[in-house]
């Protein structure tokens, strides 16, 4: 899966309301971490206008090591899902079927992790 800077706005807009224990549901994330591929002024402005705090590495000045502390969990999980052959190439035409296979793959990954402990 490869993302580019044009995918950030639809991705953030598509986040469903976040359930919380107290108070109303939050409509947007409080914070966003991103690497140097998202270092554009228009994206920073767009996030600021929506009240989303951002931590985006700057091209040519900041090391991406600090961002890695927050990103490696997601990248590891995506690589585990990519290991499932059926998900590596999308064979299903209907998105509901593909999503069902993603759910099955996630359940199998969790089962394997729990069996190891």
User: Hey, where are the domains in the chain?
Assistant: 1-64
Planar angle of CA 62, 28, 12, nearest 5 degrees: 60
Question: Distance between CA 60 and CA 36 in Å, rounded?
Answer: 9
Judge whether 34 and 9 are in contact, CB under 8 Å: no
pLDDT on residue 2 = 47
How far from 75 is each of 40, 81, 97, 99, 110, CA to CA, in Å? Answer: 22, 10, 23, 19, 16
Read off the tokens for 24.
Answer: 């109303």
Tell me what the mean pLDDT of segment 98-111 comes to: 88
* Overall pTM surpassing 0.75 (yes/no): no
**pLDDT of 1 strictly over 50:** no
**pLDDT of 112 strictly over 70:** yes
Question: Across all residues in the chain, what is the average pLDDT?
Answer: 78
């Amino acid at each position: 899966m490869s993302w580019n800077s044009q995918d950030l706005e639809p991705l953030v807009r598509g986040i469903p309301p976040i359930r919380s224990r107290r108070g109303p549901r939050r409509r947007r994330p409080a914070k966003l971490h991103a690497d140097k591929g998202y270092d554009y002024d228009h994206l920073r402005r767009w996030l600021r206008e929506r009240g989303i705090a951002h931590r985006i590495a700057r091209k040519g000045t900041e090391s991406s090591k600090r961002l890695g502390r927050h990103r490696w969990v997601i990248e590891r999980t995506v690589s585990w899902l990519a290991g499932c052959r059926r998900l590596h190439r999308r064979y299903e035409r209907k998105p509901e079927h593909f999503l069902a296979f993603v759910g099955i793959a996630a359940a199998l990954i969790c089962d394997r992790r729990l069996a190891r402990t």
